[in-house]
Structure 1
Amino acid sequence: MAVVEITVIPLGTESTSLSKYVAGCLQVLQQAGDIKYQLTPMGTVIEGELTKVLELVRQMHEQPFMAGAQRVNTIIRIDDRRDKQATMEGKVRSVEAKLVTPGGTV
């Protein structure tokens, strides 16, 4: 299973607000149904089988064009681990387990 971070940046839009384009990209993931994802302030993290996720990334990249953007810059980071199952939560838990504050807690 892959964990993929994607940031879709529409350029050449009528406004500096991009939330309608982000919503269009998230609709692609909602319609996919069996994909786990998390919206963050600067992008979206997707978890799933790499071939399916890459197809969804392509669809997300197309969304701003369909909404009138003249140019789209898409940034993708892929963590595709083959030695064991990787999940978004597992990656976060692994870091939190190693993060100890002076009081001994996370």
Structure 2
Amino acid sequence: MSVLLEFSMFPTSDDCRDGSSVSKQVSKIIDAIDKSGISYQLTPMGTVIETETMREALDIIELAYEQLDCDRIYSALKFDIRKNSKNRLKSKIKSVEKTLKREINT
């Protein structure tokens, strides 16, 4: 099974913000995901991870949350779950590139 999860998570309370920037807090989350060994892709609006089970995906959300010691945290999650499939984090992009017959600059 392949569980693709796109999520964003960041503090909204002043106790964890540096003015309007949340990059320090988001960096803590990305560092933890990187150390977990889970495949991921950082985007300007969030992060996409791929796991083999829903439990693993939810564990990453909990891990991300644990990185932020803040009074208030915003998070949005989107799932794409597919049985009998894996490595979709890269294969979905390659499929579009093949259709376009060129590579998309990333």
Q: CA RMSD in A?
A: 1.8
Provide the C-alpha distance between the structure 2 equivalents of 1:84 and 1:32, rounded to a whole number of angstroms. Answer: 21
Higher mean Cα deviation, 82-91 or 11-20? Answer: 82-91
Equivalent pairs counted in the alignment come to: 98
For the pair 1:9 / 2:10, whether they are aligned, the reply is yes
Deviation at 1:86, TM superposition (A): 4.8
Q: Which residue of 1 aligns with 2:44?
A: 41
What per-residue deviation string (whole Å, max 9, x for no partner) do you get for residues 41-78 of structure 1? 111111112311210111212322x2xx3211111111
Matches within 5 A, 1:83-94: 83-94=84-95
Question: How many percent identity over aligned positions?
Answer: 32
Provide the C-alpha distance between the structure 2 equivalents of 1:39 and 1:86, rounded to a whole number of angstroms. Answer: 16
Deviation at 1:19, TM superposition (A): 0.6
Deviation at 1:20, TM superposition (A): 0.6
Deviation at 1:83, TM superposition (A): 4.1
Q: Which residue of 1 aligns with 2:25?
A: 21
Query: Structure 1 counterpart of 2:9, which letter?
Result: V
Q: Which residue of 2 aligns with 1:61?
A: 65
Pair member with larger Rg: 1
Gap regions ≥5 residues in structure 2: none
Deviation at 1:23, TM superposition (A): 0.8
Provide TM-score, normalisation by structure 2.
0.79
Gap regions ≥5 residues in structure 1: none
